[in-house]
């Protein structure tokens, strides 16, 4: 299946990534290889294969809420690499 440049750019835009010209061609080739492999898998006869399920046996896997003593600020911040006035200092990630 041939992947067009427009399709590659559309998906890159959705993923919020910028591609160089050589990256567009490389990714297009890689996606075509993946789709060819999927075609091979689609051609397999799986009529005799039983479906598999990973559903856990049981009904409710929630744990009980148990009230415990909280750690407190001093204990919580003991190994913090950076702290100030009872708070963790973390790198800014939103511009």
Strand partners of residue 87: 84
According to the model, what pLDDT value does residue 10 have?
Answer: 93
**Considering the entire predicted model, what is its pTM?**
0.46
pLDDT value, residue 13: 93
Mean pLDDT over 47-55 rounds to 82
Quick one: which H or E segment has residue 88?
strand 87-88
pLDDT tens per residue across span 75-91: 999 999 999 998 999 98
From the number of C-beta atoms within 10 Å of its C-beta (0-12, 13-18, 19+), residue 77 rates as middle
Average pLDDT over residues 6-28: 91
> Using CB atoms within 10 A of its CB, is residue 24 exposed (0-12), middle (13-18) or buried (19+)?
middle
- CB neighbours of 27 closer than 8 A, spacing ≥ 6? 8, 19
pLDDT of the residue at 67: 92
- Say how many residues make up the chain: 95
**Mean pLDDT, range 71-77, rounded to an integer:** 89
Mean pLDDT along residues 56-67? 79
Neighbouring CB atoms inside 10 A of 8's CB total 18
């Amino acid at each position: 299946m041939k992947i067009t440049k427009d399709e590659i750019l559309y998906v890159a835009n959705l993923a919020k990534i910028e591609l160089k010209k050589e990256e567009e061609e490389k990714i297009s080739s890689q996606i075509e290889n993946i789709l060819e492999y999927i075609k091979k898998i689609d051609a397999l006869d799986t009529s005799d294969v039983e479906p598999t399920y990973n559903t856990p046996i049981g009904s409710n896997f929630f744990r009980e809420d148990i009230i415990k003593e909280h750690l407190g600020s001093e204990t919580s911040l003991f190994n913090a690499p950076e702290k100030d006035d009872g708070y963790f200092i973390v790198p800014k990630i939103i511009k």
